[in-house]
Amino acid sequence: MPKRTSSQNVHPKFTEHINETTCISIVNLRSDESSESIAKMARKATSRAARDALRNGRAITIQQGNAIVRKFPDGNVEVVKTLENAYFIPQKRVYRI
């Protein structure tokens, strides 16, 4: 098994939030609770990554409403593309046997 080393690219607070105990607690949850927990951690990680990128002088690209926009650290916003069908709700499929 390869030896683990700390990476300089990993946020210093990363190890405080996701560790072996976190993984064990997720495994012990029901599947719906596990999915919710993972989704919550993913939202927090995404928000933190965006905030850190802006703090470090990097632009981020996100969806705002029906447009893809690039937000810059100085507050400027550039519309990259406008989406016609930004929110698509698939129809319920019925299978007959």
pLDDT in tens, 32-77: 677 788 888 889 999 999 999 999 999 999 988 889 999 999 999 9
Q: How far apart are CA 76 and CA 59, in angstroms?
A: 10
- For 18-32, b/e burial (b = at least 16 CB within 10 A) is eeeeeeeeeeeeeee
Greater confidence, 20 or 51? 51
pLDDT for 7 equals 45
- At 81, list the tokens: 């593309």
In the chain, where the domains are located: 11-55, 58-86
Mapped onto helix, strand or coil, the DSSP state of residue 42 is helix
